[in-house]
Amino acid sequence: MVKFEDFQGYGKEQFDAAVASAGTLTKGIQAIATAVSDYTKKSFEEGTAFVEKLAGVKSLDKAIEVQTDYAKTAYEAFIAESTKIGELYADLAKETYKPFESYIAKMPKVA
């Protein structure tokens, strides 16, 4: 039989888990925002450099070469950053859930 005191204990554990989870969530979102901001800045700088380089070419062949190199580099950077940010999201989900693991394991089974 479950006692009233048990429910109070569960409530405190749930509150403590929620506070810990909120702290982890905040840190994770900050890390993701920083990663996105850094990638955006880098991408803008590389785009600006590409436009400047493209403006200086004298032939169509050279323009195609510059554009192809930029497209390849931009695509590779996008894939790498997308993977990195995806991993940050996955880690965030795991770390945010951790404080609740022990709480959920202690809950009485309802039949």
Q: For residues 72 and 55, give the distance between their C-alpha atoms in angstroms, rounded to a whole number.
A: 19
CA dist., res. 111 & res. 108, Å (int): 9
pTM: 0.73
Least confident of 52-56, 89-93, 103-107: 103-107
Q: What is the pLDDT of residue 8?
A: 67
Q: Mind listing the pLDDT tens digit for each residue in 75-102?
A: 999 999 999 999 999 999 998 888 777 7
Residues of 94-103 as b/e, b for ≥16 C-beta within 10 angstroms?
ebbeebeeeb
The pair phi, psi for residue 80, each rounded to 5°, is: -60, -45
Give CA angle at 92 (90, 97), nearest 5°.
100
